[in-house]
Amino acid sequence: MAIDTDTARKIARLARIRVEEDRLPALAREFDAILGFVAQLEEVDVEGVEPMTSVTPMRLKRRPDVVTDGNRQAEVLLNAPDAREGFFAVPKVVE
């Protein structure tokens, strides 16, 4: 299937990566090439085959539903590009 410029723009938007308009055609071609390669998978008969979920045959472990961590505000904010008054600061989200 061919990936067009509009699809490439949509993918970039979904991925939250800004791609300049003039780069979209080249990006679409790259996606096309990769998906063309991946298309070989259509040759495989996967009827009745379960998708692999666990790498090793194991059940995810459970643990008691208790608090194990917390009270680390300073550490949590330590690496934030912009933190004020104990919060992460971001540009305006709603008008």
Classify residue 19 by burial, with Cβ atoms within 10 Å: 0-12, 13-18, 19+: middle
| Residue 1: strand, helix, or coil | coil
- Is the CB of residue 7 less than 8 Å from the CB of residue 29? no
* Minimum distance from residue 25 beta carbon to other proteins (Å): 14
Check binding of 18 to other proteins (CB under 8 A): yes
If one asks whether residue 55 binds other proteins (CB under 8 A), the answer comes out as: yes
Give residues in contact with other proteins (CB under 8 A): 11-12, 14-19, 27, 30-31, 33-44, 46, 49-53, 55-56, 58, 60-61, 63, 72, 75-76, 78-82, 88, 90-93
